[in-house]
Amino acid sequence: MWVIFSHYIPCTLENHECAATLKDFSIQTDWRIVVGYHQVFTETDEAAAVGLLGVGNIDVVQFSREDIREWRKTNGLPL
């Protein structure tokens, strides 16, 4: 299993195609992947990114600022 946390959801930008790359990797390797993200880059189509990741059976979770603060607090990390 791979767990990936990124500030931005994997993008759908034409010159990067991060969401499509992860989808392809997941399909080719049959690995279980979970992607957590906080925000959407201004030029990324969030629905398209979530859709591509879903095709690869990748679980996607968006974390709020409060979720991140609570996790840091629980784990004794600076806020």
Residue 32 identity: R
Give a yes or no: residue 33 inside a domain. yes
- From the list 38, 41, 42, the residue with the least C-alpha distance to 60 is 38
Give a yes or no: residue 79 inside a domain. no
pTM: 0.82
Instruction: Confirm if 46 and 35 have CB atoms less than 8 A apart.
Output: no
Give a yes or no: residue 62 inside a domain. yes
- For residue 52 the two structure tokens come to 């591509």
Total domains in the chain come to: 1
Give a yes or no: residue 21 inside a domain. yes
Confidence label for 12 from pLDDT (cuts 50, 70 and 90): very high
Query: Residue 24 contacts by C-beta under 8 Å, 6 or more apart in sequence?
Result: 56
Instruction: Confirm if 45 and 12 have CB atoms less than 8 A apart.
Output: yes
Residue 37 has a pLDDT of: 95
- For 35-78, what is each residue's pLDDT tens digit? 999 999 999 999 999 999 999 999 999 998 898 889 889 999 98
Give a yes or no: residue 1 inside a domain. no
